[in-house]
Amino acid sequence: MLFPCLALLLLSSSGFMAPAFKSEMTTTPSSEPLQADVELATKYLKHFYDLKDEPTGRGKRSDSTFSSSVKDMQIFFGLNVTGSLDSQTLDVMKTPRCGVPDVHDYSLTQSTRWNKNQITYNIGRYTSRLPRSTVDSLIESAFNAWSAVSGLKFVRAHRNNADIMMEFVTYAHGDLYPFDGQRGTLAHAFGPGPGIGGDTHFDDNEQWTAGPKGFNLQVVAAHEIGHALGLRHSRNPDSLMYPNYRASRPGNLLSLEDIANINALYRPVQLPIYLNPWLFPRLMQDRCAPDMSFDAVSTVGDTLAYVLLQDTFMFCFLIRYLWIKHNAQPDIKEGPISNFMPKIETSIDAAYRIPRKNTAFLFHESMFWTVKGSTVRGKPRPLSHFGFPVWVQELDAAVHIVKTGRTLFFVHDIYWSNSTFTFCLVIGFMYFFIGAQVHQYDFTQKRTVGVEKANSWLGC
């Protein structure tokens, strides 16, 4: 899940080593935090950032473990990364928010999306703070915000087995995630799936309203519906999926990021893409469409990325589809990704290759595949293998700079530099595929030196 699609490609020019993202600062707290603040922070980090309880028999909580979780939270919210409970960090922790964790969600055993485009919902227990008709109208408006920008249709069903069951409850209410009274966590929702999947709960101790005072039910409901559809929290404060409640929002509930994410998740919405007879011919015909964009782009062979044959090829990924172009030949091979790599039946978000090891890494959400030569090796592994903070659940792009031996990983407006891979000498430009354009970045000048259509790389 994402900002507008970003793919990276590295080709020949002069080398440059980008600085690594700095996750620590040398700020020293002026005073020790109050015990009440430590207790609040501990509870917050355990729920939202997976802070673990200390093993039985160990006394005081490990300072390094606690500080690491604080840093994860500070990185997510774009705060100064001190690892200490400064006033800014505590203010964010005290802000009313969604109850879904930032580092995982309530859908670990559920599907990532509904396998249909018509989804039913029902409202069970109501709140006494608003008339029933007002609740119905606000909830309907929240669903309409998503249906207006996607191919999804929401139908209210007056039965207890609807896909998304909504109700107002208090404290412990039977799902192992109790509410905490006024303010604190406002609501939570479970990801798509059978049973409790999709269910959405609102804390009835809150002051629910239809306007700017208290907590606007339409805004909170639209956020939780995003989770019920399979979306995670966003680090972007302009996104509806930002975890903290915002008292005022622009006229349009959804940001461009929200719109891109829901369409990426539910495109297509009816059949698995590798079985959809309508979509593939359309992709074959539309690769030269003026608004054509790619999910991930990489060269292969002697340059970067994934290798099937000798020499250099370019791979362009979109949804679960793949185009392959040889550098010296006009023809283009294309088809479902699974036609070329049978073990992979998902879309690809990012890809890079280490030439000397003849090994590529293909990423989809929180998992990645290792490809050796032309063979997918083993099962997909979790993204946490690379040592990212726990809130990083997917990549926007990745690229290996062979001259420096570093790999750059991009997530929203942050990048990490990993230097644990083999060093060998290849130099290059970096190409950023953003939407329908590709930007050529010159390392030496440290600026963009050219812009062209993304599909020009496929001969268009």
Binding residues for Zn(2+): 98, 173, 175, 188, 201, 223, 227, 233, 241
CB neighbour list of residue 230: distance below 8 Å, 6 or more residues apart: 107, 111, 112, 113, 114, 191, 192, 265
Neighbours of 460 (CB within 10 A): 12
Q: Is 224 a catalytic residue?
A: yes
- Catalytically annotated residue among 224, 257, 345, 452: 224
Bond into 178 cis (ω within 30): no
Cα four-point dihedral sign 47, 104, 370, 314? negative
Could you tell me which residues are annotated as the binding site? 98, 163, 173, 175, 180-181, 188, 197, 199, 201, 203-204, 206, 223, 227, 233, 241, 295, 349, 351, 398
Q: What is the rounded (10 degree) CA torsion for 272, 274, 278, 283?
A: 120
User: Using CA of residue 57, residue 59, residue 65, residue 70, what is the dihedral sign?
Assistant: positive
Task: Look at residues 164, 147, 180 and name the one whose alpha carbon lies nearest to residue 227.
Answer: 164
Binding site members for Ca(2+): 163, 180-181, 197, 199, 203-204, 206, 295, 349, 351, 398
Angstrom distance (rounded) from CA 42 to CA 53: 10
Long-range contacts of 247-251 (CB under 8 A, 24+ apart): 247/212, 248/212, 249/219
Q: Residues of 170-185 as b/e, b for ≥16 C-beta within 10 angstroms?
A: eeebeeebebeeebbb
Q: In sequence order, which residues have a C-beta less than 8 Å from that of residue 34 and are 6 or more positions away?
A: none
Which sequence positions are flagged as catalytic? 224
